[in-house]
Amino acid sequence: MDKTKRCGFIALLGPPNAGKSTLMNQMLGSKLSIISPKPQTTRSRVLGVAMEGNTQLVFLDLPGVFMPKRKMERVMVEAAWEGARSADLVMVMFDASKKVVMTSEARSILKWLTTEKKQAILVLNKVDAIPKERLLGLAQELTATNLFTDVLMISAKTADGVPDLLKLVAPKMPAGEWQYPEDQLTDMPERLWASELTREQVFLQLKEELPYAAAVETESWEERRDGSVAIGQIVYVQKETQRAIVLGKGGARIKEIGQKAREEMGRELERKVHLTLHIKVKENWSEDINFLKAQGLLGHLER
Ligand code: GDP
Ligand code: MG
């Protein structure tokens, strides 16, 4: 074994909306995780591989930690804890620009760290939206818990502090062979990634409960001779009334969702994408374990 090599898993743990997925993408320099202003955008663990010198950093972007009510929510929160348990280091992330940072969700994470005794660092995010001086009290309070080896203030959005973060965590990883080929970005299947980009548009373009009632599945993926790819997807909703909303007036909404998602896919894949979307009503899909499994939502149980 090459003694200079290191490799470790780093879990991004925090309440919904802390900016975990934004940080993940910044660290990878790639649009892997989907992001929206709404909580609970990330539904399952997303694995992303980054290199820092001779160290392979395997990040686990996770759903946020909150009080789950429905089955899908329970599965999501369980994936968050499971990801954190499996990691060599936990990066706890809070939105420092919020009026109240130390919510019950935040406290549940500190409590977990107390019992788990895992190496952890604290990342206070969104410092572009709040003067750093206003965070000193909070940073002190959290340093005093002795749960964190380091406390950092960053902006995932502007990348302020992100390079330092990578440099900080790399030496904390265990010595060992890399787990993934150097050029591999993720273990996420391309079809699932493509579904996620469409789901991101559903989160960005639709209001209230609709994004939470929606799921996306890639039905077909056809490589064409001219180098383009034709992708067929189904957008699932739970009621007929929701179908009408996703469709929009004269089909305008679904068209806009498809157009934006297609552009994103094309940009990342660096080729032309043809995207066809169909809407299907599937009552209570979010309570259906087999459906959630097909959605990749139970992937963390199969590792
Ligand atoms: P997650 O739920 O923790 O994965 O959070 P996301 O990465 O999806 O981000 C939630 C929202 O916070 C999105 O609207 C992001 O654009 C925004 N956000 C993330 N990081 C920052 C940041 O550093 N500054 C600001 N102002 N907004 C951010
Ligand atoms: Mg997320």
The mean-pLDDT minimum among 134-138, 160-164, 292-296 falls in 292-296
Nearest to 162 by CA among 5, 12, 54, 6: 12
Q: In the predicted model, is pLDDT for residue 3 greater than 90?
A: no
Q: 16 CB less than 6 Å from ligand 1?
A: yes
CA–centroid distance, residue 122 to ligand 2 (Å): 17
Cα(104)–Cα(286) distance, integer angstroms: 25
CA atoms 247, 253, 258, 261: torsion sign: negative
pLDDT the model gives residue 296: 80
Say whether pLDDT at 140 is over 80.
yes
195 lines ligand 1 (CB under 6 A): no
Residue 211 Cβ inside 6 Å of ligand 1? The answer reads no
pLDDT in tens, 216-255: 999 999 999 999 999 999 999 999 999 999 999 999 999 9
Give the alpha-carbon dihedral of 71, 42, 86, 153, to 10 degrees: -130
77, 157, 199, 212, best to mutate for ligand 1 pocket (most atoms within 8 Å of CB):
157
Instruction: Read off the pLDDT of residues 164-212 as tens digits, 9 standing for 90 and up.
Output: 999 999 999 999 999 999 999 999 999 999 999 999 999 999 999 999 9
Q: pTM of this prediction?
A: 0.96
